[in-house]
Structure 1
Amino acid sequence: MRARLLDGAVAGAVGSVALDVVSYLDMAVRARPASSTPQASAERLAGLAHVDLGSEDQAANRRSGLGPLLGYGLGVAAGAAFAVLAGRRRISTPLAVALLGGGVMAASDGSMTMLGVTDPRSWRRSDWVADLVPHLAYGVAAAATWNRLRPPR
């Protein structure tokens, strides 16, 4: 079980890198700004936990570091959760991509919605595409890594 969890965590980390690469490529190609939602999520979580992030300059810097770390934590945790779900079964690549990418997208968007950081009901089509494509990249990379790490049966 420990090896499966580790493989799932590694797959989630690889998926997180793929998500970031696709997001940064989108920013470069479309000249769009970075999303502020990771930093806003970090700020909301710190507030809910009654954690003082310091002076405004310190807080801004901490939010800039904590926001992406939350994303990596979610991606790694999702990979580990997938490992538990998959167990010893070999899951087809399309199903793994859907479960991993869709699961991370639902967890990410759902948590930000619950924190009051965003409201997906107000998103435009381009916002949905900008959210879906990187999560699809996460799913593809994580599923490919998972299948590569798991020995054939």
Structure 2
Amino acid sequence: MSPAPVVDGAIAGAVGSVALNVVSYLDMVVRARPESSTPQESAGRLADVTGLDLGPPERAANRRAGLGPVLGYGLGITAGAVFALLATRRRTPLPVAVGLLGGGVMALSDGSMTALGVTDPRAWRRTDWVADLVPHLAYGLAAATTWRRLRSGGGGHHP
């Protein structure tokens, strides 16, 4: 297989990641809620687990603040590339692609945060689940539609 589908998948994952962040920021505006600390906490826990020294406390806090979003983008881009590997040989209906991409990224991000001890989804309220689900569905929709557009070459064929 040529690298083109994987590159297209990575691009689709990047677009999905932007959509996820925009929807999350809009949620902050609408509900006047604070920014989530889970990306930074996850970055800190991951650094601890891997033995990565982030430096003195002030510098470590700044590095966690940057590393959290970078890890999120990395997950989104990687998920798009993996989807491309799985979807290249068959046509995936849009709703299925949205569910696979959005649900997959949600499961990976929530699962890794749970494994790192940053959160416990069993303790989440309904509003917490909705606040997590909606941006991940935005990721899935943006990534899936970008994937289809890139793979169609602008024409009518959709893988």
TM-score range for the pair, normalised by the shorter chain length: over 0.9
Question: Does 2:29 align with 1:28?
Answer: yes
Identity %: 73
Unaligned ranges ≥5, structure 1: none
Of 136-145 and 84-93, more deviation after overlay is shown by: 84-93
Alignment correspondent of 1:14: 15
Supply the distance in 1 between the matched residues of 2:63 and 2:80 (Cα, whole angstroms).
26
Alignment correspondent of 1:89: 90
- TM score, norm. by length of structure 1: 0.98
Q: Work out the number of aligned pairs and report it.
A: 153
Structure 1 residues 70-85: aligned runs within 5 Å: 70-85=71-86
Supply the distance in 2 between the matched residues of 1:62 and 1:109 (Cα, whole angstroms).
21
Unaligned ranges ≥5, structure 2: none
Structure 1 residues 4-153: aligned runs within 5 Å: 4-151=5-152, 152=157
Deviation at 1:130, TM superposition (A): 0.3
Q: CA RMSD in A?
A: 0.8
Deviation at 1:87, TM superposition (A): 2.1
- TM score, norm. by length of structure 2: 0.94
Query: Runs ≥4 in structure 1, deviation > 4 angstroms?
Result: none
| Residue identity opposite 1:87 in structure 2 | T
